[in-house]
Amino acid sequence: MKYLLINGNPYHDHDEIDRYVIRLAAGLESAGNEVRVLVLRDMKIRPCTGCFHCWVKDPGTCIIEDDGREVSRQYIASDHVILASPLVMGFLSATLKNAMDRNIPLVHPHLEAIDKEVHHKKRYENYPVVSFLLEKEPFTDAEDIAIVTDLFRREAINVRSSLGFVKFIDTPVDEVQNALDVH
């Protein structure tokens, strides 16, 4: 299996989730998987400007020449992508959300119906499963978790992926790894 771990922790001085990602990557690697780790805060990724160049001018390619393209390239080449982020004001960090917005070149502009809702057609044949690894804020409650889990399920459908798991870094690493073996 090809795993891509995308670390969207924006903080340099708050590294619990970084250490978790490193341990998970090492565990997956020693189990014989191909693993790549991207640390977004060390990359240059400008926000999407909504120009749709990637759909109507140069189909499949974002006009912005920065590391955002590389994230998309590695995303689509993976079997399973794990997005890691602390919750910041109750949602994924802006650092991670900006990188995810830049993934729309991976789908086609045409619409089609999926489960009685309109979504985009696939551009590629295969899309990875997407899972989320999160760190709670002091005030995170069950309602926050329900809100983000629903949003993640929808985001996965929208990029024609499916949702793997949503877990927090208070889960032991081997438990997360076992969950991955299942998917």
Partner 1 sequence: MRLMFINGSPRGTQSNTGRLMGHFIRGFLQTEGNTCDMEYLTKNRRSLADLAEKFAAAQTVIIGFPLYVDAMPGSVKAFLEKLQPYVGRSDNPALGFVIQCGFPETSHNRYVERYCEKFSRRMGCRYLGAILKGGCEGLDIQPTFLTDKYYQYYNLLGLEFGKTGAFDAAILEKLARPEHLTSENMAQVIPFINQALWDAQLEANGVLDKSFNKPFGS
Ligand X SMILES: Cc1cc2nc3c(=O)[nH]c(=O)nc-3n(C[C@H](O)[C@H](O)[C@H](O)COP(=O)(O)O)c2cc1C
Q: Is 158 in the site for ligand X (CB under 6 A)?
A: yes
Say which residues have a Cβ less than 8 Å from residue 90's Cβ, sequence separation at least 6.
137, 140, 144, 147, 148
Instruction: Report the site for partner 1 in 113-172 (rule: CB under 8 A).
Output: 113, 116-119, 123-125, 139, 143-144, 147-148, 150-151, 154-155, 158-159
Interface residue with ligand X, options 12, 32, 42, 50 (CB under 6 A): 50
> Measured between alpha carbons, how far is 64 from 74 in angstroms, rounded to an integer?
17
- Tell me the two tokens of residue 66: 């920065």
Q: 19 is in the binding site of which of partner 1, ligand X, none (Cβ under 5 to 8 A by kind)?
A: none
Q: Is 37 in the site for ligand X (CB under 6 A)?
A: no
**Closest among 135, 144, 75, 78 to 106, alpha carbons compared:** 75
Q: 123 is in the binding site of which of partner 1, ligand X, none (Cβ under 5 to 8 A by kind)?
A: partner 1
**Closest among 177, 128, 181, 183 to 156, alpha carbons compared:** 128
Nearer of residues 19 and 46 to partner 1, judged by Cβ: 46
Binding residues for ligand X (CB under 6 A): 48, 50, 101, 104, 158
